[in-house]
Amino acid sequence: MKFSWKVLLLWTLPALVIGFFFWQGAFAGAPADMTKNAANTRMTYGRFLEYVDAGRVSSVDLYEGGRTAIVEAVDQDIENRVQRWRVDLPVNAPELISKLKDKGISFDAHPMRNDGAIWGLLGNLVFPILLITGLFFLFRRSSNLPGGPGQAMNFGKSRARFQMEAKTGVKFDDVAGIEEAKEELQEVVTFLKQPERFTAVGARIPKGVLLVGPPGTGKTLLAKAIAGEAGVPFFSISGSEFVEMFVGVGASRVRDLFKKAKDNAPCIIFIDEIDAVGRQRGAGIGGGNDEREQTLNQLLTEMDGFEGNTGIIIIAATNRPDVLDSALLRPGRFDRQVTVDAPDIKGRLEILQVHARNKKLDPSVSLDAIARRTPGFTGADLANLLNEAAILTARRRKEGITLTEIDDAVDRVVAGMEGTPLVDSKSKRLIAYHEVGHALVGTLLKDHDPVQKVTLIPRGQAQGLTWFTPNEEQGLISRSQLKARITGALGGRAAEEVIFGAAEVTTGAGGDLQQLSGMARQMVTRFGMSDLGPLSLESQQGEVFLGRDWTTRSEYSESIASRIDGQVRAIVEDCYENAKKLIRDNRSVTDRLVDLLIEKETIDGAEFRQIVAEYTDVPEKPQYAQL
C-alpha cells in the first residue's frame, strides 16, 4: 500500500487537537507553586477555622486569588504529626486574614500565573489553523476526482482533450482496408495544410465529416490518423461527456468547446459516438430528454448557426446513423458522410499486413489464405485474430506463429473457447453423423460453399462444428445459393433422421432451424423468390426507434400472410427432402467419414472431399485458398 503523508496528516489532526485541549485543561491554568505544594487531602472551611482557633495551624499559603489555601497543621489523630490540607476558601472571607494575624499564623499569598491566558490564546489560534490546513489538503486531494468539490466551478466547462499538435502515433499508412474513406479524409487534411489549392477554384472547406459504419471497422482509428497527419490543434471528446444530470450543463459545455476551438482555429473537433447526444428530438413516449435536446440544439447552432464557425472542421463517428436527427445530417453541418464498412478480401489482406508487422510469422503462413478464410471480419476482428494466434504461440512455446495457431485462433474468435472432447459414446457418434451430414450435403451441392473443416472438438455452446469457406466475396447471392445453404443447414437434421430414425432426432439442429427459417422467409418476403411473385412484402429497416417506429402497421393482408407461411414451409420441406435423399444415396461414405471423424476428431476440407470423391462425383467449385 502506498504511503501518503497527507492522509496521515488528515487522520492525526483530530487526535492532536483533542489531546491539545485535554492537556490545556489539565495543566495550563495550574500555578507552578501549587503543583509543587499540592496537598493529598482536603479540609472543609469550617474545620479549618476550628484548627485556627485551637492554634494547631502553623502556616497558610493562599492561591488563585484567595480561593484556595494549602494549610500546614498538627493532626492529633496521628500522633500530632504535621499534615498538609487543601482548603477551598469562600469568596467573601475578609475576616480570615485578621484572624490569621491575631493568632500569629504565618501566611503567604501567591499571585496567579499568566500561562493560562497565553495557552488559551494559543489554543484559540492553533485549532483554526489546524482545521483550515486539514480542509485545504482534503479539498486539494478531492479536487482531482470527477465531480469533486474542487471542480464545482468548472462543471460547465468542456471536457474535451486538447492537443496543440496531436501525437497519436497513428498515420494514414497505419490505416488499411478502407481506401475510399482514407481518400476522403486525406482531402480534409490537405485542405487544412494547403487551402489555396481549393480556394483558388472557389471550393470551401467542409464543415463536418460523419464516419458511419459497424463497430470495429476503424472509425476512431481514422480520427487518430487525421490528428497525427493534420498538424493543427485537435479536440477530442465523446458524445456522452456532454450530457449530465444537471440542466444546462451539456449546452454550456458545447459553447465552451466551440469557444476554445474558435480561439485556436483552424482546428479539428472529433466527437466519438455522437448518437449519444445527436438522437432525434422528441423521440420517446411522453417526449424526450429535455437536457439532451438542449445540448443537441446548442450543437446545431454552433455548427451552422447565425455566427458560423469558420475554420473548424467537425469529425464525428457513429454506428447508429438511423437514430440521428435530420437537422444534424444536413449539408452545412455534416457535408460528408463517409461509410466505413467491413473490408473486402483485398482490404483484409492489407489489414493483416499492418498487424503482422510486429508478429513473428512462420514462412509457411499465407496472409492471403487468412484473408480468404475470414469474410465479414472487421479490422478489430483481424487484429484480435493475430493477437490470439500470438498468445497461443507463446503458450505452446513456439518461436513463430504457424498455420495451426492461426486456424485455432479463427475457431476461438468465431466459436469460442475449446472444450474437452467427448469420449466415444452414442452421443459422440450422433454428433459425428450430424456434422458429417452438414459437410457431405454441402460438398455434394454445386452452389454451396466448400467445406473447410469438420471437427468434434466442442467450442462455446456447440458440441461439434462444420466450417465452410466462401470462395469469393458474395455481394449478391442467387436463389440457388440460398436454397443450397438451407439444404446444407438441414443436412445435420437429415442425417440424424436417416441414420437413427425420426424418434431419435435431437435438439442439436435448433440453431440451424432458426437460421434457415430466417433465410427462407426473406426469400419470400424481401427477395421475391417464391410463387407469390417479385414482391417485397416487408420493408428492410433496423431496430425500432421509439417516437418514429412505435406505430407499426401490417403491410399485407391475413390471406397473404397465410400464403407467405405456406411458401416458407414449401421451400424448407423441399430442401429437407433433398438433404435426406443425398444422405440415403451416400450412406456408405457417410459411415466411413463418421468412423474417421470419431478416430481423428478433426478432418480438413481437402481430405474430406478426397474421400467423398472415391464414392461419387463431387461437383467442381471455384478454387479457394486452403489454410
Look at residue 467 and give its three-state secondary structure. Answer: strand
pLDDT of residue 245: 59
Query: Could you read off the pLDDT of 275-296 as tens digits, one per residue?
Result: 888 888 775 554 445 777 888 8
State how far the Cα of 314 lies from the Cα of 208, in Å rounded to an integer: 5
Q: pLDDT exceeding 90 applies to what percent of the chain?
A: 17
74 has a pLDDT exceeding 60: yes
State how far the Cα of 64 lies from the Cα of 30, in Å rounded to an integer: 9
Amino acid identity at 127: F
State how far the Cα of 278 lies from the Cα of 293, in Å rounded to an integer: 8
The DSSP bridge pattern shows strands 208-212 and 41-43 to be unpaired
Q: pTM above the 0.85 mark?
A: no
pLDDT of residue 30: 46
pLDDT of residue 531: 87
State how far the Cα of 95 lies from the Cα of 92, in Å rounded to an integer: 9
pLDDT of residue 164: 64
Q: What residues contact 459, with CB distance under 8 A and at least 6 apart?
A: 411, 412, 415, 416, 417, 418, 419, 465
- The per-residue b/e assignment along 531-558, b for 16 or more CB within 10 angstroms, e otherwise, is ebeeeebeeeeeeebebeeeeeeeeeee
Label residue 219 by pLDDT band (50, 70, 90): confident
- Angle in degrees, CA 483, 407, 445, rounded to 5: 20
State how far the Cα of 190 lies from the Cα of 193, in Å rounded to an integer: 5
Active site residue 183: no
Question: Which candidate, 105, 119, 110, 125, places its Cα nearest to that of 48?
Answer: 105
Q: How many residues does the chain have?
A: 627
Is CATH 1.10.10.60 the right assignment for the domain spanning 30-112? Answer: no
418 has a pLDDT exceeding 70: yes
State how far the Cα of 139 lies from the Cα of 548, in Å rounded to an integer: 47
Q: What residues contact 571, with CB distance under 8 A and at least 6 apart?
A: 483, 486, 520, 523, 524, 530
- Looking from the CA of 611 toward its CB, the CA atoms found within 13 Å total 20
Least confident of 321-335, 416-430, 454-468, 591-605: 416-430
Question: Which candidate, 165, 377, 366, places its Cα nearest to that of 264?
Answer: 165
Handedness of CA 358, 360, 362, 363 (dihedral sign): positive
The domain covering 426-540+556-613 belongs, at the CATH homologous superfamily level, to Peptidase M41 (1.20.58.760)
Q: Are 42 and 86 in contact (CB under 8 A)?
A: yes
Least confident of 12-26, 376-390, 436-450: 12-26
CATH architecture designation of domain 161-339 = 3-Layer(aba) Sandwich (3.40)
Continuous segment of H or E residues that includes residue 222: helix 219-230
**For residue 56, how many other CB atoms are within 10 A of its CB?**
17
Question: Which candidate, 601, 625, 597, places its Cα nearest to that of 611?
Answer: 597
Strand order in the sheet with 57-63: 41-43, 81-88, 68-75, 57-63, 106-109
Match 458474395 to its residue by C-alpha cell. Answer: 474
- Burial class, 86, CB count within 10 angstroms (exposed 0-12 / middle 13-18 / buried 19+): middle
Handedness of CA 235, 236, 239, 244 (dihedral sign): negative
- Angle in degrees, CA 284, 287, 290, rounded to 5: 115
Conformation bin of residue 176: beta by default, left when phi > 0, alpha when psi is -120 to 50: beta
Which of the listed ranges 224-228, 413-417, 611-615 does the model predict with the highest average pLDDT? 611-615
Label residue 143 by pLDDT band (50, 70, 90): low
Query: Could you read off the pLDDT of 112-140 as tens digits, one per residue?
Result: 665 556 666 666 677 677 778 777 766 66
pLDDT of residue 65: 67
Amino acid identity at 522: Q
Average pLDDT, the chain: 79
Match 450543463 to its residue by C-alpha cell. Answer: 249
C-alpha cell of residue 275: 448518437
Topology of the domain comprising 345-415: Helicase, Ruva Protein; domain 3 (1.10.8)
Query: Could you read off the pLDDT of 295-353 as tens digits, one per residue?
Result: 888 888 888 876 666 778 888 999 888 888 888 888 888 888 888 888 888 888 988 98
Question: Which candidate, 375, 376, 374, 383, places its Cα nearest to that of 352?
Answer: 383
Q: What residues contact 146, with CB distance under 8 A and at least 6 apart?
A: none
Domains 161-339 and 426-540+556-613 share a fold: no
The DSSP bridge pattern shows strands 68-75 and 465-468 to be unpaired
pLDDT of residue 494: 94
State how far the Cα of 238 lies from the Cα of 246, in Å rounded to an integer: 18
The catalytic residue among 241, 291, 350, 435 is 435
* Domain limits, the chain: 30-112, 161-339, 345-415, 426-540+556-613
9 has a pLDDT exceeding 90: no
